[in-house]
Amino acid sequence: MRKRGAGRTGGRTVTRGTATRRPQDVAAARARARAKAKAALVAAAGGTVLAVLLSGCGGDAGQDKPSGSAEGRHASGPSPQADPAKNPTRIPRVGDRLQAKIPDESTQVVAVEGKGKNSPDATVRLYTRQGGAWHEEHRWAAHNGKRGWTHDHHQGDKRSPVGVFSLSDAGGVLPEPDAKLPYAHTAAFTPPSYWPKKTRHDFDHVIAIDYNRVKGTSPLDPTRPQGQAKGGSIWLHMDHGSGTSGCVSLSKAGMETLLRTLDPKKHPVVVMGDSASLRH
């Protein structure tokens, strides 16, 4: 008498509880599992591989522990009445070196001020220029690379690049909320399923920072004009409560405000770095 739960095929017994499974069924199940895992890494966007994300703000970004700093917890939204600037024709807390790199035609600046060289905590401020004076319109708590900042960014260093970069393209898993920047709406932005749950909405909305990328293309474009070693996929995107792999993250409300406000006709740029580098 054959034991309960055992099946014999070609002299080989395969047991699965009380069900009998043929070897070919087992092989098919394994193939389906492999295909499912592969599908999590490949997005159907002109053949773009989701691994592109891993070189920028992906990877283990969501595995960092929240910083718990007071700055990371403060409320976000419209800026309170700002202190009068010593020189309203300049972006506050930005020194001559980076100030000089802001194009004359730019009338919108996203200023990202990191708490420290090795800190993941930051503040994002949105400035608009009216006449010759800059006005702070909004302020949000934010995060940058989990290891801080660098003047020589390389792929995998987990630091955000210091500098002035244009903002020309956007996209995300969710439809654009009246975005003025060209917006690529595609599920290809969906983070891999094996990332921590808290990162699932990181790329619902993103704005590409024009660091080592081709302007006028989707943020998912893998082209790296300065070479792969210089990294890429540096974005503004939604926050998960801790440092990133090089991007700058802020609240959903902040991202939606930026998307509704940043206008290609106003030549928006981001000025970013730790506080000491910004002032230098």
Average pLDDT over residues 172-182: 95
CB atoms within 10 A of CB 225: 9
Q: Residue 191 pLDDT more than 50?
A: yes
Q: Residue 36 pLDDT more than 50?
A: no
Residue 276, H or E segment = helix 275-279
For the chain, what is the mean pLDDT?
A: 81
Residue 77, H or E segment = strand 77-78
Distances (CA, A) of 55 to 158, 173, 223: 10, 19, 12
pTM reported for the whole predicted model: 0.76
Q: What's the token pair of residue 98?
A: 């980076």
At 86, is the pLDDT very low, low, confident or very high (cuts 50, 70, 90)?
confident
Average pLDDT over residues 215-231: 97
Q: What fold characterizes domain 94-277?
A: L,D-transpeptidase catalytic domain-like (2.40.440)
Q: What is the pLDDT of residue 32?
A: 56
For the chain, the structural domain boundaries read 94-277
Contact indicator for 141, 134 with CB cutoff of 8 Å:
no
Contact indicator for 135, 127 with CB cutoff of 8 Å:
yes
10 Å CB burial of residue 47 (0-12, 13-18, 19+) is: exposed
Q: What is the rounded CA–CA span in Å between residue 162 and residue 150? A: 6
In 105-136, which positions are buried (b, 16+ CB within 10 angstroms) versus exposed (e)? ebbbbbbbbbbebebbbbbbbbbbbeeeebeb
Instruction: Give me the percent of the chain exceeding a pLDDT of 90.
Output: 68
Q: What are phi and psi of 51, to 5 degrees?
A: -60, -20
Residue 133, H or E segment = strand 133-143
Q: What is the pLDDT of residue 236?
A: 98
At 31, is the pLDDT very low, low, confident or very high (cuts 50, 70, 90)?
low
Q: What is the rounded CA–CA span in Å between residue 135 and residue 124? A: 14
Instruction: Tell which residue, 271, 50, 29, 18, has the closest CA to residue 164.
Output: 271
Q: Residue 41 pLDDT more than 60?
A: no
Residue 34, H or E segment = helix 23-41
For 87-93, which contacts have Cβ atoms below 8 Å and span 24 or more sequence positions? 88/132, 88/133, 88/134, 89/132, 89/133, 89/134, 90/134, 91/127, 91/134, 91/271, 92/134, 92/136, 93/275, 93/278, 93/279
Q: Residue 189 pLDDT more than 50?
A: yes
Q: What is the DSSP letter of 244?
A: B
